[in-house]
Amino acid sequence: MISCTVRYEIDPAKLADFETYARFWLWKVPQLGGTHHGYHMPHEGPNDIAYCHFSFPSLAAYEDYRARMWEDADCLRAYEFATRTACIRRYDRSFTRPVLDGATPAELGLS
């Protein structure tokens, strides 16, 4: 599994527009083979930083998602909305491999 974390710099005055954009992707990513782990909106601290996290079974599956996304009319409308509203100033992506299974100290050889 590979997870993508996107760090967004957003316009705080356009938080509602960004949330509209986010809610679309929460609906769409599963249709394109991924698992969305949610958007994390500003609350305390900087008011212009948001994150999202989503996963795909492999990097190849993520690359397939990216290719199909550019051919999908709904995705293109979402990008057009973000561009038109200028709710996103910039973003960067990073990829990680999640560790999701816990283990006891004995299973880990810590006892």
**What is the structure's pLDDT at 14?**
97
pLDDT for 100 beyond 90? no
Residue 101 belongs to some domain of the structure:
no
Residue 67 sits in a domain of what CATH number? 3.30.70.100
Burial of 67 (0-12, 13-18, 19+ CB in 10 A): exposed
Residue 10 belongs to some domain of the structure:
yes
Q: How many domains are contained in the chain?
A: 1
Tens digits of residue pLDDT in 69-94: 999 999 999 999 999 999 999 999 99
Question: Full-prediction pTM beyond 0.75?
Answer: yes
Residue 66 belongs to some domain of the structure:
yes
Q: Roughly how many angstroms between the first and final C-alpha of the chain, as a whole number?
A: 30
Contacts of 98 (CB under 8 A, 6+ apart): 1, 3, 55
Residue 102 belongs to some domain of the structure:
no
Give me the domain span that covers residue 16: 2-95
CA 15 – CA 80 distance, rounded (Å): 17
